[in-house]
Chains A and B, each alone.
Chain A
């Protein structure tokens, strides 16, 4: 071996750098990520321009109406981060370069969580500022943007991680994307069918944590439960962490 390569090592920093290069050199993940950041801003402009707010809505809640679909995109990016590798066959190249699979998954998790947190923080703050500037002063309650915006950004990071966990377990892009969108969307869609249990069913979804954080008038105790926004976020983060552990176990035990 040449002396120049003696510093070579396949550890976490290398895995993270590899993941970053893989992420930003493929169009599908880059564009979906950009859409995640742009959708809340466009949503704020649309809602403010059309004044499509409930009278009891807050400026924060109204401006961030589109953060709910954007959160789904964050989960999709998380899923694509690993299913794209299975689909293209690069998963073997990746694990040949670094056979410590838990390290590789940790690098992916770090990438998606950091990326989504920063992008969502910037995008949702911008959306709130635009909405606030466009809407009439005093007509709607302002809402409490701080520290809620940090929680909103964190809910995007958690959604991305949830997507990554599901993607790791499912492996196929279409199946994983369908599953994560289902996990995010179905509780609120099917919730009403369960009567009194609705607030339990709908209340545990990542979407409901986000709705509580943006303080929208839709997030009533009847529909998404009375659990506060921060405990809701913690709950979602908790089961996402459990799912990621499960995914790590599956990844380590499987043939690729």
Chain B
């Protein structure tokens, strides 16, 4: 990719204000307000049915909001003069016709926004699809389909990328490729907004998180703050005398549970305190690992009951714009 502006500007932000979408009596998106900023990968997280895909369709003007607004670079999507050059999007792997070749699919899209045809070759090369460009889409694997979707998203060299579950169906190599691509696009100053239900993947890719549940905002914060604010630190301890250790820890008021990996998962005293306690009582310690809950655990806890969290949603006041 070339020519990305070195300094991100507000022109490339995605802004949702009180965005609401109802289908009949079902509310898919409920007064959602957030800002997606350039220069970083923003993860959009939520369980299936949380309203992620609906929100993305609202951003792209495919669905009309019941109330509220959403703009890209200050404009509703429908008013962008050349949408593909402003916003690249991947909604699902089925964005192409089964009977059409990858090349023709991209050539058609290029023509629609009067993008030079050479861009088709460039994005095919970038996504590693040059060899199969003449093959019909119906013969594509899920992974190749995702690559074609990403090729289409990059066609207009857009400053904003909106990708719904881009790693869906990809093998580990493909996942790593997307992760690196997203990070490099963000590093170029682009706005990258991607949804996923794979929280472990998000933890590795996203710098910033927008979490929704039942159409409502649960969190809008940096990845690190999200985990730190929402997880209590705990310590993994292993000892050849586990029952004795547990007794000592519980006497100190610690919450001790069996960890799935074996050993004790201790909430309360930190590693230092546990180590000292064991030494004072002559106990051998074979493992002592301070740990934070993974995003997966935090997220599971958070989305268990979104209603409980929405009153004190974890918006971080310290969060600053880079």
* Chain A interface (Cβ < 8 Å from any Cβ of B): 1-5, 7-11, 13-15, 17-18, 21-22, 25-28, 84-85, 88-90, 92-100, 253, 255-256
Nearest CB of B to A253, in Å: 8
Give the B interface residue count (CB, 8 A). Answer: 46
Contact of B100 among A13, A25, A96 (CB under 8 A): A25
Point out the residue from A7, A15, A90, A97 that lies within 8 Å of B84, measured CB to CB.
A97
Residues 77-123 of B contacting A (Cβ, < 8 Å): 77-78, 80-86, 89, 91-92, 94-101, 104-105, 107-109, 111-116, 119
B60 in the interface (beta carbon within 8 A): yes
**Is the CB of B62 closer than 8 A to any CB of chain A?**
yes
Q: Report chain A residues within 8 Å CB of B105.
A: 25
From A15, A22, A27, A92, give the contact of B62 (CB < 8 A). Answer: A92
Chain B contacts of A2 at CB under 8 A? 2-3, 157
Q: Are A89 and B95 in contact (CB under 8 A)?
A: yes
Known interface pairs A8-B113, A17-B112, A255-B62. Does A99 touch B80 (Cβ–Cβ under 8 Å)?
A: yes
Contact B89 A96 (CB under 8 A): yes
Chain B contacts for A28, CB-based, 8 A: 99
Task: State the Cβ distance, A99 to closest chain B Cβ, in Å.
Answer: 4
Q: Which has the most chain B C-beta neighbours within 10 Å: A88, A93, A95?
A: A93
- Chain A residues lying within 8 Å of B3, measured Cβ to Cβ, are 1-3
CB-based contact A97/B83 at 8 Å: yes
Per-residue A-contact encoding for B139-176, CB less than 8 Å = 1, 0 else: 00000000000001000111100000000000000000
* 7 nearest CB pairs, A to B: A18-B112, A2-B3, A17-B111, A21-B108, A25-B104, A8-B82, A255-B63
Min CB–CB distance A185 → chain B (angstroms): 28
Q: Least Cβ distance of B265 to chain A in Å?
A: 46
Q: What's the nearest-Cβ distance from chain A to residue B271, in Å?
A: 51
Beta-carbon contact of B112 and A97 below 8 Å: yes
CB-CB under 8 A from A9, the residues of chain B are 81-82, 113-114
With contacts A10-B84, A88-B94, A92-B91 known, what are 18 further pairs, Cβ within 8 A? A1-B86, A3-B3, A4-B116, A5-B156, A8-B82, A14-B111, A14-B112, A17-B108, A17-B112, A18-B108, A21-B107, A89-B94, A90-B95, A90-B97, A93-B96, A95-B61, A97-B83, A99-B78
Minimal beta-carbon separation of A95 from chain B (angstroms): 6
B83 and A98 contact, CB distance less than 8 A: yes
Q: Which residue of B lies closest to A23 (CB)?
A: B108
Question: Residues of B contacting A96 with CB < 8 Å?
Answer: 60, 62, 83-84, 89, 91
| Complex: A72 Cα to B314 Cα, angstroms | 61
A93 touches B113 (CB 8 A): no
Closest to A29 in B: B99
Say how far B113's CB is from chain A's closest CB, in angstroms. 5
CA distance A53 to B229 in the complex (A): 87
CB of A96, distance to nearest CB on chain B (Å) = 5
Contact of B85 among A1, A15, A26, A85 (CB under 8 A): A1
Docked Cα-Cα span, A13 to B115, in Å, equals: 12
User: B64 interface residue, CB < 8 Å from A?
Assistant: yes
CB of B292 within 8 Å of the partner chain:
no
A95 to B85 Cα, complex, angstroms: 14
Contact A18–B109 (Cβ < 8 Å): yes
Contacting A10 at CB < 8 Å: which of B61, B81, B100, B158? B81
Residues of B within 8 A of A14 (CB): 111-114
Contact B112 A88 (CB under 8 A): no
Residues of B within 8 A of A255 (CB): 57, 62-64
A99 touches B83 (CB 8 A): yes
Smallest Cβ distance from B104 to chain A, in angstroms? 4
Bound-state CA distance A4–B290 (Å) is 53
Say whether A256 contacts B2, CB under 8 Å: no
Which residues on A sit within 8 Å (CB–CB) of B91?
92-93, 96
Alpha-carbon distance A1/B156, docked complex (angstroms): 9
Partner of A5, one of B61, B89, B116: B116
A26 touches B114 (CB 8 A): no
CB distance from A19 to the nearest CB of B (A): 8
Q: Contact between B95 and A21 (Cβ–Cβ < 8 Å)?
A: no
Min CB–CB distance A70 → chain B (angstroms)? 23
- In the bound assembly, the distance between CA atoms of A11 and B57 in angstroms comes to 21
